[in-house]
Chains A and B, each alone.
Chain A
Amino acid sequence: MAAHRILIANRGEIAMRILRACVGLGHEFVCVHTASDAASGHVRLARELGGEQSLRRIRSYQDANELFAVADACEATAVHPGYGFFAEDFRFARRAEKRDRPLIFIGPSWGVIRDLGDKINTKRIARSLAVPTIPGSDRPIFDEMEAVELAEAIFAFQDEQGITEGCVLVKASAGGGGMGIEEVYDLDTFRSVYRRIRNYAKRNLSDEGVLIEQRIFDFNHLEVQVAAERGGKNAVHFGTRNCSVQSLGRQKRIEVAPGFDPASLTYAFDAGAVLDSITRHSVHMAKSVGYDNVGTWEWIVTPKGEPFLMEVNTRIQVENGVSGVIARIDGRPETSGGVDIISEQIRLGLGEPLGYGQDEVRLEGVGIEYRIIAEDPADRFTPCLGRIERFAWKEEPWLRVYTQVPTALPGGEPYDIPMDFDPNLALAIVWGADLAQAMERGAEFLKGLVLTGTDTAGQPLRTNIAFLLARTETILHF
């Protein structure tokens, strides 16, 4: 296979991982950065591995024109969006494909991103394939009578399921970001809430459509890691992961793979069957829609063991590593320590076939991923800005740490946390033969981790390490 030159349209930790994967696969790369992000680890790494000519300064990571202009100037042949920014922007993917000088978009083809990028549309596709979805409407409702009937049905459904306090979610279909969304607990108030949301939508979004859905409290958040080749013929999954440990704003902090562990834990339902069902549904749906890259199917599982598909993330996710670390592929010895899903993504994106089937994918052991963040768990997880002076840990064979903080690199200098981006500092993944060993190793790593610095006010830098350690103890209580 001819070597490609891949434009890495991202920053930080993910850019570094893509960069390493490119080098590992024998491809060239081009890295971009903004003026305020010039000290980031990915810039340093790119300089080390590709020299100054592999680096370009741009105005903003969010300006697609900059990326395409750089791609042309550097004669890149493909573009990797990472996660965030343009990863799930079907227009970006479409432009890459349709422009006069096309670029390979390393991700699913744009039609797939568009179809699965819309939650309602995803729901309709899932339902057409008999994949279970959250009870409620799968298209905007414009008629009050219809809305009331739906709400009635949802309350009855919850009754039937033994949910004592039923709740219906009413949201504007064109809304987002927490606006135009309300919870309703009984049918009497439903009408007035419905009207309020509808009027809000009409006035502010000029679209009267309203969605009505069951609100599910208290659930497990599970994800299925899927990989599919171009052409959409072959698709496999790399098991599940559980992302139930979250901060206040539903931001994930700890992920565990596999999603359930019936070997060491007891569940109120048949956990093995649930895992089986959601992976089967996910791969089936991927094949049916012609999915052609790596992606994540997000599920919620109710306390009674009922799985519902929530959405599909048509991109590589932050937590891909924790799924990779428990996956092995028969006949590929380099995967004995886990599969590098990013390398797989690049391979698939450039059009290589998968080369193995589900039978050859083995899942082994338990992985735990920690997101180490400069934030104050005691103060509503407020980000903490400042300068990192020391960042070190003990290397272990069962441990992988990804960080863009150059302080952690050999000869690393102090690093000012840039304020334009998420204050994520590092991702750490530990692997154990079973859950107990993984937890033990996780605790060992966190205890040995050195991360010091000062915040902008001169106080010691606050991080969430203690929070992560505390939650490791209770990780079992999903």
Chain B
Amino acid sequence: MLNVKEMLEELKASPYEEIEIRTPHTGVVQFVGLKAGDRVLGPTGKWNEKPGTLLANLTREKNKKPICATQKGAVTDIAAELEGKFVEAGERLLTIRHFLSKEEVIARILKKALHLFCAPERAKYYFVPEIDAKIKAGGEQSVKLKDGMEMFFVSRMKRETPLAYSGPEGIIYAVYFQQGDNVDGGQPLIGVCQEAQLSLIQDVVSRVQGEWEEQD
């Protein structure tokens, strides 16, 4: 059984996450005058339609693109020496120290409670079209899973093979991977919530709501 209290304590001891902001591609970097310690915001708005705080601009082939914060937090370490330089793809620009929000804490605890369906091998994973459509239309929780149900396409070496779900019946509670990104073998793909677990999840949610104090 899950010891929610213990896990909460553990998270409280180090309630931060360090998010490294890296260049998505090559280009010339221009910072926008942020200093270490400045607070930044992630995407906001009812539909997350407003992008986060502008961190830097990256210009490639005369196309200046903003790099925005993905989470709220404080800027800790800026690679200021890159200002005005042409950088390679994946270069670290700065780090954001992000204080975990309630939702994230819940997600972290639940990741230990849910039935995790893991990637059998390193590959790219995609949902089969029916499930993908369902998720897009009604959210992850709208998908009911049964043992043996075709759920993924595994793409390796440009070949695609189907992968069936195996495990207890339930609904998809969380998706832990990005479609089209490489997933290492053994990494969880989805968290499945069985019917019997619903009360446990309620419990986790209410505990975290009550006990976790969000900081800016």
Instruction: List the interface of chain A (C-beta within 8 A of B).
Output: 34-36, 56-59, 63, 65-66, 68-70, 73, 382-383, 385, 419-423, 456-457
Contact = CB atoms under 8 A, between A and B. Distances in A.
A68 B25 contact: no
A38 to B, nearest CB: 10
Interface residues of B, number: 20
Contact of A66 (B89, B122, B157): B89
Contact of A382 (B63, B123, B159): B159
Contacts of A421: 157
B141 interface: no
Contacts of A35: 89-90
Interface in B23-42: 24-27
Contacts of B182: 36, 419-420
A245 to B, nearest CB: 21
B25 A66 contact: yes
A69 B61 contact: yes
Given A69-B60, A457-B121, 19 more contacts: A35-B89, A36-B182, A56-B88, A57-B26, A57-B88, A57-B89, A59-B24, A59-B25, A66-B89, A69-B26, A69-B27, A69-B86, A73-B26, A385-B157, A419-B157, A419-B182, A420-B182, A422-B158, A456-B185
5 contacts: A58-B26, A385-B121, A385-B156, A419-B122, A457-B121
B90 A59 contact: yes
B60 to A, nearest CB: 5
Contact of B89 (A59, A73, A385, A457): A59
Contacts of A419: 122-123, 156-157, 182
Interface in B42-63: 60-61, 63
A65 B63 CA distance: 10
Contacts of A457: 121
Nearest to B62: A100
Contacts of B27: 69
A422 B185 CA distance: 20
B121 A456 contact: yes
Contact of A70 (B24, B26, B121, B157): B26
Contacts of B88: 56-58
Contacts of B25: 58-59, 63, 65-66, 69
A191 B36 CA distance: 72
A383 B90 contact: no
For the residues of B in contact with A, the DSSP-based class is loop
The 3 closest A-B pairs by CB, nearest first: A383-B157, A57-B88, A59-B89
A422 B61 CA distance: 30
Contacts of B159: 382-383
A34 B90 CA distance: 9
Contacts of B157: 383, 385, 419, 421-423
Interface string B1-43: 0000000000000000000000011110000000000000000
A58 B90 CA distance: 8
Given A57-B88, A69-B60, A385 B26 contact: no
Interface string B89-118: 110000000000000000000000000000
A369 B63 CA distance: 45
Nearest to B123: A419
B161 to A, nearest CB: 9
Contacts of A57: 26, 88-90
A65 B61 contact: yes
B157 to A, nearest CB: 4
B26 A56 contact: yes
Contacts of B156: 383, 385, 419
A58 B61 contact: no
Interface in B118-150: 121-123
A68 B61 CA distance: 7
Nearest to A380: B159
B187 to A, nearest CB: 14
A456 B26 contact: no
Candidate in A68, A69, A383, A420 with the most chain B CB atoms within 10 angstroms: A69
